[in-house]
Amino acid sequence: MEKTPKNTPKNPRIDPKQIKGWGIDADPKNDPTYPMRKRMNVGEDPDSKHRPDHLQPEDTEVLRSIERPDVSAVFGTPAPPMGLSGLIRRAAFKYSENEYKHWLPLIVADRVGVVEGIVADLSHGKLPNIWAEKGYDMEWKYNRPAFVTKLATIGAVTAGLVVWLSSGKKKQPKPVKKDYLSRF
C-alpha cells in the first residue's frame, strides 16, 4: 500500500470557488482544444505556399534541413559552422531529421566545439576561468558542505585512479629463452 507523504496535513482541500478567477475561462467546448480546434488542412488552404515578401540575404553559411525546400525567410547566424565541428555539422545536415545520423553527429560536433572554444581562448591569450564560468561561487556560498564533499570525492577518485594506474607491477623482463641449440 502506498504510504501517505508527511506533508499531507499542509494540504487541506479548498473550495475552488473562493479562488480569484475560478472558472472564468471554463468552456465546455474546450475539447478538442488548441492546437486541434482551429486546424486547417493544407488542401483547404489556397494560400498554403505563401511566403513573406522579402527574404533575408544569405551572407553567411546556413545549414538547411533537407526536409524543407528552401531557406526560411529569416534565419539566425550567431555561430556559422567552422573548424572540425563545422565539418561534422555539414555532414550531419546531409541526413533528414528522421535519422540518428543527423542528430548524433550534431551532439558530437557540440562537444568538439567546446574543445575548439578552449583552443580559441588560449590562442587569444585568454585562460578560461572555469571556476567563474561554472558559477562555483554560488555553490560555495549556498551549498558549501555538499559542494566540498563533491569536490573531495572527485579529487579522491582522480587521485585513486592516478595511483592505481601508476603503481602497477613493473613489467617483468621477458625471460630470455635459452638457445640451447645454438651451441650446436
Partner 1 sequence: MLAMDYRGPKRVRAVQKPMPEIKHPQDAIVRVLRTCICGSDLHLYNGNVPDTRVGSTFGHEFVGEIVEIGADVTKVKVGDRVLVPFNIACGECHFCRQGMFGNCHESNTESTAVGAIFGYSHTAGGYNGGQAEYARVPYANVGPTIIPPDMDLDDAVLLTDVIPTGYQAAEMAGIQTGDTVVVFGAGPIGIVAARCAWLFGAGRVIIIDQEDYRLEFACNYSYCEAYNFKEMNDPVLFIKKITDWMGADCVIDAVGAEAAGNTMQTVTGRKLLLQAGSATALHWAINSVKKGGVVSIVGVYGPTDNLVPIGNMMNKGLTIRGNQTSVKRLLPRLIEHVQNGVLNPKALITHRIPLEDVADGYRMFSAKLDNCIKTVLMPPTANQ
Q: Where does 20-143 have alpha helices with state H?
A: 83-92, 100-123, 130-133, 136-142
Pick from 84, 128, 149, 158: which binds partner 1 (CB under 8 A)? 128
Give yes or no for residue 73 binding partner 1 (CB under 8 A). Answer: yes
CA atoms within 13 A on the CB side of 59: 4
In this complex, which beta carbon is closest to partner 1, that of residue 87 or of residue 136?
Answer: 136
Pick from 9, 43, 74, 182: which binds partner 1 (CB under 8 A)? 74
Give yes or no for residue 87 binding partner 1 (CB under 8 A). Answer: no
Q: Are 140 and 147 in contact (CB under 8 A)?
A: yes
In this complex, which beta carbon is closest to partner 1, that of residue 78 or of residue 168?
Answer: 78
Pick from 9, 43, 100, 181: which binds partner 1 (CB under 8 A)? 100
In this complex, which beta carbon is closest to partner 1, that of residue 131 or of residue 162?
Answer: 131
Cα separation, 44 vs 24, in Å, equals 33
Q: Where does the chain have alpha helices with state H?
A: 83-92, 100-123, 130-133, 136-142, 144-166
Give yes or no for residue 122 binding partner 1 (CB under 8 A). Answer: no
Give the CA distances from residue 44 to residues 36, 40, 41, 86, 123, in Å, rounded to whole numbers and listed in that order. Answer: 15, 6, 5, 41, 57
In this complex, which beta carbon is closest to partner 1, that of residue 104 or of residue 162?
Answer: 104
In this complex, which beta carbon is closest to partner 1, that of residue 45 or of residue 162?
Answer: 45
Q: Are 105 and 91 in contact (CB under 8 A)?
A: yes
Q: What character string, x for contact with partner 1 (CB under 8 A) and - otherwise, covers 25-64?
A: xxxx-xxxxxxx-xxx-x--x-xx-xxxxxxxx----xxx
